[in-house]
Amino acid sequence: MANPCEVEVLNNALSGIGVDEKSLVSILTKSQNEHKKSMRKGCSKFFLEDERQFERWNDSAIKSLKAEFKLFKDVVVLSLMHPWERDARLLKKALKKGLPHYNVIVEIACTRSSDQLLGARKAYHSLFDRSTEEDLASHVKGSERKLLVALVSAYRYEGPKVKEDAAKSEAKALLNAIKNNNGDHKKKAMEEDEVIWILTTRSKPHLKVVYEQYKKISAKTITEDLEVELLLKETVECLCTPQTYFTRVFDTALREDAKEDAKKALTRLVATQEDVDLKGIAAKFEDKIKERVKGAYKDVLLGVLADDRQ
């Protein structure tokens, strides 16, 4: 349950009365989703229910934050939103921006649980009066469409059971598809129906076994063999070796010549991966965070290192 002081800090910040950055950082880095839910209830002016009784951020409130928070705004907004709404809005934004941003769709579809992804699809309905799949099918072209529609539509089994024989067989099928040559033309693995079927329907524990079996028969990992198919590579990473993917996001964003999209990717990661322990990854970059990141945003990243969420 949020205490009155926390609610006051949020209401003041969101109203433009004044931003107590130290307190706000503490709230963002130490609160689990249930705690944030109670804080949203205390800020009813900024968090509304639509006609479907679905919780959503007041759109006008987001616009008013631009001047108040500047670069700190994105992490504040993403951290405070209901996770389903947040993911739905991220999906919509990635679709609008086009192909270079489709990795955001992959990240959401592959790092969330089945129920979290289903919740994001429900939120998308409520926010935009269309389905995620509908918008993907109408906006995305080529082989990427088949992959992305299948990924966001997935509702994976989340139990521990793995069929070892099937995993071995599917590792061989992936190897054949990735190495496949049709005469002088090398066919993309993303164009193979069996590749899409395996990656979009199998459970994550099963796919991790497939990943290990692939390495045994190929002497390379799947991701090493997919260097030229970045979107498919990121799909495999997010499903099978998410820590590798998260580490690369930190590394890319904290380089001296980091681009704005890379910095936004790190903001998204820190604000959305509440159920993932990022402390070990962030610790590797602590010196770079202290050296290259400024202000309240630096405090948020360092807060991840000291993760003691309530």
Q: Which domains does the chain show, CATH number per domain?
A: 4-57 (no CATH), 67-141+239-309 (1.10.220.10), 156-228 (1.10.220.10)
**What pLDDT score does 67 carry?**
56
pLDDT exceeds 90 at position 308? no
pLDDT tens track for 63-94: 766 555 655 778 888 888 899 999 999 999 99
For the chain, give the mean pLDDT. 88
User: What confidence score (pLDDT) does residue 151 get?
Assistant: 98
pTM exceeds 0.75: yes
Q: Binning pLDDT at 50, 70 and 90, where does residue 9 land?
A: confident
User: What does the block give as tokens for 186?
Assistant: 């090398």
Average pLDDT over residues 244-269: 94
pLDDT in tens, 77-136: 888 889 999 999 999 999 999 999 999 999 999 999 999 999 999 999 999 999 999 999
Can you say whether residue 142 is alpha, beta or left, with left for phi > 0 and alpha for psi between -120 and 50 degrees? Answer: left
Is a pLDDT exceeding 50 seen at residue 169?
yes
pLDDT in tens, 41-67: 888 878 888 777 778 888 877 776 655
Average pLDDT value for residue range 183-196: 80
Summarize the confidence of residues 251-275 as an average pLDDT: 91
What is the DSSP annotation of 173-230? HHHHHHH--BTTB---GGG-HHHHHHHHHS-HHHHHHHHHHHHHHHSS-HHHHTTT-H
Q: Identify the residue with better confidence: 296 or 275.
A: 296
Give yes or no for residue 256 having a pLDDT over 90: yes
Handedness of CA 94, 47, 78, 274 (dihedral sign): negative
Distance, in Å, from the CA atom of 266 to the CA atom of 250, rounded to the nearest integer, reads 6
Q: How confident is the model at residue 26 (pLDDT cuts 50, 70, 90)?
A: confident
| High-pLDDT (> 90) share of the chain, % | 59
β-pair partners for 61: none
The mean pLDDT value for 25-37 works out to 80
Dihedral angle over CA of 81, 84, 86, 90, nearest 10? 180
Summarised one tens digit per residue, pLDDT across range 205-240 is 999 999 999 999 999 999 999 998 999 999 999 999
Per-residue pLDDT, 91: 98
- SS3 of 289, please? helix
Full DSSP string of 18-60: ---HHHHHHHHHH--HHHHHHHHHHTTTTEEE-TT--EEE-HH
